[in-house]
Amino acid sequence: MNAIYLDFNATTPCDPRVVEAMLPFFSAEFANPASRQHGPGRAAFMALEKARKTVAQSIGARSATEIIFTSGATESNNLALTGMANAPDTRGRHLITQATEHPAVLEVMTRLKTQGWDLTVLGVDREGLVDPEAIAGAIRPDTVLISVMLANNETGVIQPIEEITEAAHARGVIVHCDAAQGPGKIPVNVGDLGVDLLSLSGHKCYGPKGSGALYVRRKTPALKLQALQLGGGHEQGLRSGTPNLPAAVGLATALEQAGDQLNETSANLGALRDDFEQKLTDSVPGLIINGAGAPRLPNTSNVTFPGVDGEALMASLPDLAVSSGSACASAHPQASQVLLAMGLPKKLASGALRISLGKTTTPEEIQLAARRIAQEVHRLRI
């Protein structure tokens, strides 16, 4: 049985044009971009720098030198947070984040806390939004960094990053933003957002898994991050190791296309998602759409069904590839930390479905999914 794939926030397929752009760099143009003493190496270097420029342009960065290629948003987040906390001329030991961040931020922050940093984790309201004024109020003279995500992977809720950076910069504090869920769904522009550090992931926007980047704003005084891994000093000393040229090219191609198709894709996704939620609301009284009162990604729907066991619901829908909301529900299902932070009771927070649409999703798939979910909810409620 072919399940209908509605889990695009977990990962997306590579766009065929992305694969095509990557292919030459696996074999014909295999040289090491760091081997600039010979022609093939210089060609590879040129290709890497072209990809860097494309990535920079796709997020409105002023210079390609602001882009550090990484293996994905997890690594970018680790590099940004650990790198800033351990920066040689750091001004303090206090870090700020908020409760619905991805584990690749929260876990790093928790480790830094055990290593002696002070950590403030701000809560969110019922819609999943963090209050920029609460962030401003948490800033101390020794605050090093604020990290707030652009859009949440479970609910799609979009945080008020511009207001946060404004408050932070007024107090001289650096802002990092995990923007893994942004490209292809909403505009991601570092000029508008004002952030100093921004994490990107290729496989969330039709690029290859294992590709990503960290944007590091050029400013005075310069941000001096500490590298996670040492070696040959690649990527301006921030990420040693032979660059993954196919991945960099794939990321660049994916981001370029995400930008080119943004208006069309996000309008399509939004219409399909709204249609899905309407159909479901019509047939399942009492359901809760989490985060619906906040700005949201156009492709994401996070739904809870009071009175229905979430685990049983998931188990009865093998024909739908959807997520249970919480990331690792396989072995022992846990309540979603994101939904708990939004104030949902534990029972509801462990029974949510996350439906995330992609650019290949069809109206027929959406109709079928809404019908099947409603069917099983009614069956389980009896």
Catalytic residues: 328
Q: How far is the CB of 181 from ligand PLP (least distance, A)?
A: 5
Is residue 102 part of the contact set for ligand PLP (CB under 6 A)?
Answer: yes
Is residue 290 part of the contact set for ligand PLP (CB under 6 A)?
Answer: no
186, 158 contact by CB (below 8 A): yes
Site string for ligand PLP, 18-57 (x = CB under 6 A): ----------------------------------------
Instruction: Give dist(CA 167, CA 323) in Å, integer.
Output: 35
Q: How far is the CB of 368 from ligand PLP (least distance, A)?
A: 26
The one-letter code for the residue type at 332 is H
> Based on CB atoms, which residue is closest to ligand PLP, 120 or 181?
181
Q: How far is the CB of 211 from ligand PLP (least distance, A)?
A: 8
Structure tokens at 319: 């024909």
Structure tokens at 173: 């504090």
Interaction residues for ligand PLP, span 152-191 (CB under 6 A):
153, 178, 180-181
Q: Which of 208, 212, 291, 358 binds ligand PLP (CB under 6 A)?
A: 212
Q: What one-character-per-residue DSSP string does 49-65 give?
A: HHHHHHHHHHTT-S-GG
Q: How far is the CB of 153 from ligand PLP (least distance, A)?
A: 4
> Based on CB atoms, which residue is closest to ligand PLP, 203 or 354?
203
- The secondary element (H helix, E strand) that includes residue 95 is strand 94-98
> Is the bond preceding residue 221 a cis peptide, omega within 30 degrees?
yes
SS (H, E, C) 19-35: HHHHHHHHCCCCCCCCC
Site string for ligand PLP, 69-98 (x = CB under 6 A): ---xxx------------------------
Structure tokens at 31: 């040289």
> Based on CB atoms, which residue is closest to ligand PLP, 243 or 377?
243
By CB under 6 A, the count of residues binding ligand PLP is: 14
Interaction residues for ligand PLP, span 306-335 (CB under 6 A):
none
Q: How far is the CB of 12 from ligand PLP (least distance, A)?
A: 10
Instruction: Give dist(CA 73, CA 252) in Å, integer.
Output: 15
DSSP 237: G
> Based on CB atoms, which residue is closest to ligand PLP, 124 or 308?
124
CA 250 to each of CA 35, 41, 164: distance values in angstroms, whole numbers, following the listed order: 21, 19, 31
304: β partners: 288, 352
Interaction residues for ligand PLP, span 224-253 (CB under 6 A):
none
142, 93 contact by CB (below 8 A): yes
Q: Which of 185, 204, 239, 273 binds ligand PLP (CB under 6 A)?
A: 204
CB atoms closer than 10 angstroms to residue 20: 12
> Based on CB atoms, which residue is closest to ligand PLP, 180 or 308?
180
356: β partners: 7, 300
Point out which residues bind ligand PLP (CB under 6 A).
72-74, 102, 104, 149, 153, 178, 180-181, 201, 203-204, 212
